[in-house]
Amino acid sequence: AMIIRTSAIRLACICVLFTATIVGCTKRVDDKWTKMRPQVFPATGTVIYQGKPCGGATVMFESNSPDDKARGKVAIGHTDSAGFFRMKTFKEYEGVVAGPHRISVTKSEFIQNLPPNPDPTIDYPLIEKPLLPAKYKEFQTSGLTADVSSDGPNSFPLTLE
């Protein structure tokens, strides 16, 4: 009976510690740094390239807000197989600062770059091969913009040529 009681106590302690860890780790942190962040708003969209959803792309929004706290903030999203993305600025899926944004979209594959007689002791770097037109890679040249509203909804269909 003593062994069963000790095991039960040990199991109870493990359960309490586990619960405390989960509750502690999922609790929202509001420290002086997070309080200084500008407010963000949910933003989603789709990327269509050559008439088809563009999966595996990276979408970035750069704020052109007149607000000093928001200006220059960059949000990032990644497209799924349907071309759908959700933007994040500070943490997963929470959104984008309000105001005007310039957008960039990139998608690449990396290919092996081996010489005719590769040395097996050398780790040859991969070469990036862009899969979208170069103009979409830069905020300045993409021609893509979005105006994120605090009222929402903020859904941005992006059609690339």
Predicted structure pTM score: 0.73
pLDDT given at position 28: 53
> How much is the pLDDT for 80?
97
What is the phi-psi region of residue 119: left when phi exceeds 0, alpha when psi lies from -120 to 50, beta otherwise?
Answer: beta
The sign one gets for the Cα dihedral 161, 129, 82, 45 is negative
pLDDT number for residue 43 = 95
- Please answer whether residues 133 and 109 qualify as being in contact, where contact means their C-beta atoms are separated by less than 8 angstroms: no
**Along the 161 residues of the chain, how does pLDDT read in single tens digits?**
555 555 556 665 565 555 555 544 545 556 677 677 788 899 999 999 999 999 999 999 999 887 777 788 899 999 999 999 999 988 765 899 999 999 999 999 999 888 889 998 998 999 999 999 999 999 999 999 999 999 989 999 999 99
* The pLDDT of residue 84: 98
